Amino acid sequence: MSLMLGRLARFAAQKIAANPQVREKAAEMARAVAQEAQNIAREDDRARAAGRSARRFLDSLKGDG
């Protein structure tokens, strides 16, 4: 199972690397994820911060936020 997931991840990385627009979007998303991880790490109640982060992410997927 992990071999299949590894191949899938490698395939996705190759497709992302081949397209400059997608590559830029992936880099932007990685920076946003890193910033959110820093915000969670700074909080005293990390579980609550992670929950708020997940809620913001889900709301952005629905278009509410």
Tens of pLDDT along the chain (65 residues) come to 788 999 999 998 898 889 999 899 989 989 999 999 999 999 999 999 999 999 998 998 888 65
Domain positions in the chain are 20-65
pLDDT at 36: 92
CA atoms of 46 and 41, how far apart (whole Å): 7
pLDDT at 64: 62
pTM of the model: 0.64
Using N-to-C axis directions, what is the helix angle for 20-42 and 46-62, rounded to 10°? Answer: 150
